[in-house]
Structure 1
Amino acid sequence: MFISYCFIRRKHISSNVGKLQQSDASSRRVVLSPAQPWSSTPLKLCPRSVYRRTSPRRSVPLTLRISVLPTEVIQRIASGEVIDSPVAAVRELVENALDAEATAVEIDIDFDAGNIVVRDNGRGMRPNDLERCLQQNATSKLASLEQLVAGRVHTLGFRGQGLWAISQLCACIEVRSKGETSPCGYMIQYSPQQVETKPVEPVGLPQGTIVQVTGLFCDEQFAPRRSAMPHKRQLRQQLLSFVRATALCHPNVSWRVRDSGRNLLTLYGKLEFSDEESETERAKHALIRMFSQIMEIAPEECGAFASDQVLCVLGYPDRGHHRSRADAVIVAVNGRAVQNADLVNAALSHVQHTLPSGRFPIIFIHIRCPGRDVDWNIHPMKTMMRLRDPEYWFQKLREGIDRCFSMPLSEVSAADLFASTYLRKLIDMEEGALNGAADEPQSNQLLRLEAMTQIGKTYIIATNMESGDIWIIEQHTAHERVLYEKYRDQYTSLARNIVELREPIIMRGLFAQAQVEELRESLGIHMTMIGPLEWKVERAPQMFIEAGLLDPENDCPRSQSERKMQFLLQALGSASSLEDRLALLACRAAVKNGTQLDRERMQSLVDQWLRTKAPRTCPHGRPTFRQLTTRELEIFFRRRYTPQDAADSSDPDLTRKRAPC
């Protein structure tokens, strides 16, 4: 039998394990049997003297004296904050290369040995700058406090901590660099173990800089940090994610990443554009090229928008370019990918009704704001920042996303224009384009589609009379997109326009009081409980009558109208947000598949659909159209083909082959 003993003693307790000796008759013992629960046992608290320490107390000073840390301690703490992993070291070296206006960056890394080599073709450094580059807080990018406060820092780095922090955590660092006007390159080496830095030595080198780091975190004092680092696979993935995000911020730069001599990633950023294109168009085309390489998306299957403040590119969700996680949502500010939850959430909330449920977009957004509107000086790695007016930039972000969706329908697609330029040797061009006399695309030129007929009472067949392309448009999803954006834009007036029903609708349903109040506040639906699970609807929005959700003339049977309203209100009550309710109303009010439409109504629906902001999908993420170009039709019917050696030939006529019959 199990017996529990609780001893409350006043004096000595023997240290002999397994034997408890009672040293005083005044000791108290409470014995608990299994039949005697803890709650029924009166326990008395013993005096404070019972808990008196028997071991000698260590003497502690009554006051704590404050002293300044030694310089070497301060430096070690600072270097550990800046460089916490090999990826952080690569990030610092890459930012220096980009600040030097490099157009090609090569990264060689060995995670096991802690060796890193970063090469670039930037402006390089002069010998006297090379001597000071490894000193703490030595930089050429920031000169005064006024420059920092006024936001006149236009470089990725400005603290002078990168090279110095790496040099404190590695076995040896070697920097070789050649400036624009230097007759030869120069080299400097530094090791934390050596007393003095070796003098600068001349070395043969092309223009640019090479930084070689040996034995990063390999000293015994960094053993805890090494053991706490992620696995090599995770470090490699972090490195590739950083390079991809940085490449999108600087699409004109070419990249190559190797791990222990094995090629991991190669990106080509330099591309020649026509002289007639503006800087904005060049930035847009370069971004599409880099985005298509990184995300493995064809250039014609992504949309882009570029302005002085926002650069945005995304994969079209109607082509299946979306993911189950938000790992392809990249946000950057002034050339650096940042970790800003507010910007990411603003992008996700704006595109949630263009994607299927539970899916996330493939999108890159680059905000270019004045330096005075962003504060970088809040994190050692500068991956976090604060915007002065976040709501203003949220609105610019939303406008850029809308333009990415609407451009292929409202004006000439930047992706299509880029594809026609880049693949000019591989596809058939018009006679004027082959002679270099292609017409300039007109901005804001509305795409004209002429509705021809209807197939299966579901699909509208339209054509572009200028290009001859065929458009197959699903009438329900297209009308659903039209109504959703109409309800969203006119929500304030729609919610206020409430009408009194001629005859109240009586229905049965299970509604919580919170749902009833939410429906009244958001949509103006007034419901009153008249019995167990019985509700009376007396007032409803005018939009319900205009959309055909209510029949004021009582043409349909009353039971059918009540069931229809019951199902609608239950669905609205279970929706989690106002946007979901508006999407549900648009779906219920849109023209149904299987409805016969005349040509005039089809043309009106197509024109309204072309003017929407996100015409590619309905609010639930389903595609709205399919386009068949004349080039695709000619290839399918074998009216056009490309010889195998056409890609390597400079003759434009070689790619223009047609079937003999």
Structure 2
Amino acid sequence: MGQIHVLPAHIQNKIAAGEVVERPSSIVKEITENSLDAGATVIEVFIKNSGMESIKVVDNGRGIDYEDRSLIFERHATSKLDTAYELFEIRSLGFRGEALASIGAVAKVSLQSMSEGSTPFKMVISGGDYETDTVWHERPGTIIEIKDLFFNTPARLKYIKNLRTETGKIIDIMQRMALNNPDVSFRLVFDGKDRFKTTGSGNLKEVINILYGTQVSSNAIPVSGTSPDYTIDGFIVRPEVTRSNRNYINLSINNRHVRHFKLSQSIINAYHTLQPKDKYPLVFLNITMDPKLIDVNVHPSKIEVKLSKEAELLKLMEDTVKNGLMETQLIPEVEHKKPKQEQFDQPAIDFTKREEQIREHIDTYEPPAKHMPQTPFRQEKSMEDLQSKQPYTNPFKQNTPVQKETGKPADIPAFVEQEPLPEKQKLPYLEIIGQLHGTYIIMQNETGMYLMDQHAAQERIKYEYIYKNIIKEDDGIPLLIPYTFEFSFDDVITIDEKLSELQSLGFDIEKSGMKQYTVSRYPSWIKAQNPEEDINDLIDFISHTDHFDVKKYREEMSIMMSCKQSIKANHYLDKNQMTALLEELGKCHSPYTCPHGRPVIIHMTTYEIERMFNRIMK
């Protein structure tokens, strides 16, 4: 007698529930996605006891037709697919028809719904068995409530240990839903208390403000990028706002939240040297593409995806984020928290009048020639040429010559007229005041006070110079007497595999024996007193690195060399040295952070300074 048989439907559903319904947050995700697919513009989610007691989702979507009610809790029953071909261009969030059948198999479910022109109904199912099926009150949309989750699967129930963790996962799911659908109003309620509510206005920045607060939303930068196959748009957050893990990299494809390590890594690469090590950015980006270029039928959770033309998308993502960061000024503001103290009756300063006084002072001010700051983007000239040929020019005044003490307009030098300034300067005009503790350079302009970390500034200058001019392919340094290195047999195989990578770094290296390698040329950026030792260490390092990246190695070497060669703290500079440092920083591609991601300059506004002295009572 044969032993193979088909399992009953209720057992099949329990098996499927093991993949689809992992925890309460899985149910929230599946039901909410159904509401979105139904065209709902208002979705309310009510949670009791972290979802273990009750999960209730109310929407105003199209609802379910009365004639379809018998198929709602059947496996692979769906309204979103008709043919196998449609699997290759999924346009809905759900499509498998497994969620409701799986949920109904491990919980007590009550569902009431009505579609336009159809009879409203209510159904109750418990552990896969129908209990009631009745006509219900008229109410457009759908209400579904799940109670006593995992009541008939004790092992799964024991897996749920920490209710706080379950709460956090539900909040995370709902936040991502709200971010991916800013035109839908979401409300999340835990045990009768609202956690958040969005307006559904379609304004993503407003949603970011509701979910993450003003610090994040006020530092959000809009970005967009396009290619023949992909469009990226959304917001990235300035690098001074960081998180300790990459969970705040919010990515969606066609408004579906996805997890994709390579895409997240391309964003982190774009922030490289703008954030401290082991800190991660906040981003809120949606990728629009033809559904034929993405496969979402990879895992039951539908979060993991496979992409066509992945390399093109990774490059577009990194370029989009990097361009967004480079197009904005990244000097962090100093936040001042007002102390609790008695308020004094003191009139507020008239900023309009004060600003006019500051501008008048700047316009007529002509510093001593030997201390005159050079605008970072002007044509490179020696300090002597500038002192002898050009009076001080206020960069805030456009197309207006500087007034000398005589009151007559000064002649503008020819080279200034002929040389167009860039569209956007990376650093504002800054006037150097002095130095604090031999470490920080104090500066000012009409907007307030600036502090520059001299070590971080020179570190950024040297990093960009070394990476651009030294750490690159060159003719290298030939050796009259080649170096010969011997390694163990265990290392020989890996070294043989990495010879091409060593050659790309500028080495002439070849195998000269069973365990010997001969180096007849090495790159010029190896400047140590004992290059033979450094070469040996480098070969050993590359041979023991699984995924050696030449570009990344050069970058890390640039960071290390720039840090060692830069000014240290408690090193006093004269005015000319400080001016020269500021000028060189202004020429940098990214003058806002050191290569390790620490800020180079911070800004304290005049308004904040006035508040600290209680000149302003707001």
Is 1:384–2:304 an aligned residue pair?
Answer: yes
Indicate the residue corresponding to 1:258 in structure 2. 189
Deviation (angstroms), 1:230 = 3.5
Matches within 5 A, 1:110-259: 110-111=48-49, 114-128=53-67, 132-149=71-88, 151=89, 153-177=90-114, 179=115, 186-192=120-126, 198-199=132-133, 201-205=135-139, 207-219=140-152, 222-259=153-190
- Give the TM-score of the pair, scaled to structure 2: 0.66
Q: 1:629 to 1:306 in 2, by over 3 A?
A: farther
Q: What SS class does the counterpart of residue 322 from structure 1 fall into?
A: coil
Q: 1:520 to 1:390 in 2, by over 3 A?
A: closer
Contact kept? 1:452, 1:599, Cα under 8 Å:
no
Indicate the residue corresponding to 2:597 in structure 1. 621
* Percent of aligned pairs with the same amino acid: 22
Is 1:300–2:221 an aligned residue pair?
Answer: no
Q: What SS class does the counterpart of residue 139 from structure 1 fall into?
A: coil
Indicate the residue corresponding to 1:332 in structure 2. 252
Indicate the residue corresponding to 1:322 in structure 2. 243
Q: What SS class does the counterpart of residue 593 from structure 2 fall into?
A: coil
User: In 2, Cα distance between the equivalents of 1:253 and 1:314?
Assistant: 21
Amino acid of the structure 1 residue aligned with 2:232? V
User: In 2, Cα distance between the equivalents of 1:106 and 1:292?
Assistant: 20
Match of 2:453 among 447, 460, 474: 474
Contact kept? 1:347, 1:397, Cα under 8 Å:
yes
Deviation (angstroms), 1:92 = 0.6
Contact kept? 1:452, 1:463, Cα under 8 Å:
yes
Contact kept? 1:131, 1:200, Cα under 8 Å:
no
Q: 1:299 to 1:88 in 2, by over 3 A?
A: closer
Q: What SS class does the counterpart of residue 619 from structure 1 fall into?
A: coil
Deviation (angstroms), 1:259 = 3.5
Match of 2:314 among 356, 370, 394: 394
Q: 1:126 to 1:407 in 2, by over 3 A?
A: farther
Contact kept? 2:441, 2:453, Cα under 8 Å:
yes
Is 1:355–2:275 an aligned residue pair?
Answer: yes
Q: What SS class does the counterpart of residue 329 from structure 2 fall into?
A: helix
Contact kept? 2:252, 2:258, Cα under 8 Å:
yes
Q: What SS class does the counterpart of residue 598 from structure 2 fall into?
A: coil
Indicate the residue corresponding to 2:343 in structure 1. none
User: In 2, Cα distance between the equivalents of 1:113 and 1:520?
Assistant: 58
Amino acid of the structure 2 residue aligned with 1:213? I
Deviation (angstroms), 1:314 = 4.7
Q: What SS class does the counterpart of residue 455 from structure 1 fall into?
A: strand
Indicate the residue corresponding to 1:495 in structure 2. 473
Deviation (angstroms), 1:189 = 0.8
TM-superposition CA deviations, 1:241-286 (whole Å, max 9, x none):
22233333234444433333344x21435458xxxxxxxxx54x34
Contact kept? 1:127, 1:200, Cα under 8 Å:
no
Contact kept? 1:113, 1:218, Cα under 8 Å:
no
Aligned residues: 498
Contact kept? 1:312, 1:404, Cα under 8 Å:
no
Q: What SS class does the counterpart of residue 82 from structure 2 fall into?
A: coil
TM-superposition CA deviations, 1:411-451 (whole Å, max 9, x none):
9x9xxxxxxxxxxxxxx9999xxxxxxxxxxx974456224
Amino acid of the structure 1 residue aligned with 2:84? L
Indicate the residue corresponding to 1:343 in structure 2. 263
User: In 2, Cα distance between the equivalents of 1:259 and 1:502?
Assistant: 76
TM-superposition CA deviations, 1:120-141 (whole Å, max 9, x none):
3444445445565444433333
Amino acid of the structure 1 residue aligned with 2:181? H
Indicate the residue corresponding to 2:356 in structure 1. none
Deviation (angstroms), 1:361 = 3.8
Deviation (angstroms), 1:93 = 0.7
Indicate the residue corresponding to 1:453 in structure 2. 432
Indicate the residue corresponding to 2:45 in structure 1. 107
Indicate the residue corresponding to 1:96 in structure 2. 34
Q: What SS class does the counterpart of residue 157 from structure 1 fall into?
A: coil
Amino acid of the structure 2 residue aligned with 1:86? P
Q: What SS class does the counterpart of residue 377 from structure 1 fall into?
A: coil
Matches within 5 A, 1:597-608: 597=576, 601-602=580-581, 604-608=583-587
User: In 2, Cα distance between the equivalents of 1:193 and 1:562?
Assistant: 76
Q: 1:186 to 1:345 in 2, by over 3 A?
A: same
Name which structure has the greater RCO, CA cutoff 8 Å, separation 6+: 2
Deviation (angstroms), 1:392 = 1.9
Contact kept? 1:451, 1:599, Cα under 8 Å:
no
Amino acid of the structure 1 residue aligned with 2:452? I
Q: 1:147 to 1:479 in 2, by over 3 A?
A: farther
User: In 2, Cα distance between the equivalents of 1:290 and 1:403?
Assistant: 27
Indicate the residue corresponding to 1:583 in structure 2. 559
Contact kept? 2:232, 2:317, Cα under 8 Å:
yes
Q: Which stretches in structure 1 are left out of the alignment for 5+ residues?
A: 1-60, 273-281, 414-427, 432-442, 506-511, 528-536, 545-549, 551-560, 643-661
User: In 1, Cα distance between the equivalents of 2:191 and 2:215?
Assistant: 29
Task: Using the TM superposition, name which of 232-241 and 368-377 deviates more.
Answer: 232-241
Amino acid of the structure 2 residue aligned with 1:189? M
Deviation (angstroms), 1:626 = 0.6
Contact kept? 1:170, 1:217, Cα under 8 Å:
yes
User: In 2, Cα distance between the equivalents of 1:298 and 1:541?
Assistant: 45
Indicate the residue corresponding to 1:310 in structure 2. 232
Contact kept? 1:269, 1:290, Cα under 8 Å:
no
Amino acid of the structure 1 residue aligned with 2:107? C
Deviation (angstroms), 1:398 = 1.6
Deviation (angstroms), 1:174 = 1.8
Contact kept? 1:328, 1:363, Cα under 8 Å:
yes
User: In 2, Cα distance between the equivalents of 1:169 and 1:154?
Assistant: 29
Indicate the residue corresponding to 2:390 in structure 1. none
Deviation (angstroms), 1:375 = 0.6
Deviation (angstroms), 1:377 = 0.9
Contact kept? 1:105, 1:254, Cα under 8 Å:
yes
Is 1:372–2:292 an aligned residue pair?
Answer: yes
User: In 2, Cα distance between the equivalents of 1:390 and 1:479?
Assistant: 38
Deviation (angstroms), 1:583 = 1.5
- Give the TM-score of the pair, scaled to structure 1: 0.62
User: In 2, Cα distance between the equivalents of 1:133 and 1:187?
Assistant: 12
Deviation (angstroms), 1:503 = 13
Contact kept? 1:252, 1:271, Cα under 8 Å:
yes
Contact kept? 1:448, 1:464, Cα under 8 Å:
no
Structure whose alpha-carbon radius of gyration is higher: 1
Q: Which stretches in structure 2 are left out of the alignment for 5+ residues?
A: 334-349, 354-421, 484-490, 510-518, 546-551
Contact kept? 1:85, 1:229, Cα under 8 Å:
yes
Q: 1:333 to 1:486 in 2, by over 3 A?
A: farther
User: In 2, Cα distance between the equivalents of 1:586 and 1:464?
Assistant: 29
Q: What SS class does the counterpart of residue 620 from structure 1 fall into?
A: coil
Deviation (angstroms), 1:82 = 2.0
Matches within 5 A, 1:540-551: 541-542=523-524
Q: 1:269 to 1:383 in 2, by over 3 A?
A: same
Indicate the residue corresponding to 1:83 in structure 2. 21
Contact kept? 2:475, 2:523, Cα under 8 Å:
yes
Contact kept? 1:119, 1:209, Cα under 8 Å:
yes
TM-superposition CA deviations, 1:621-646 (whole Å, max 9, x none):
2111112334434544555554xxxx
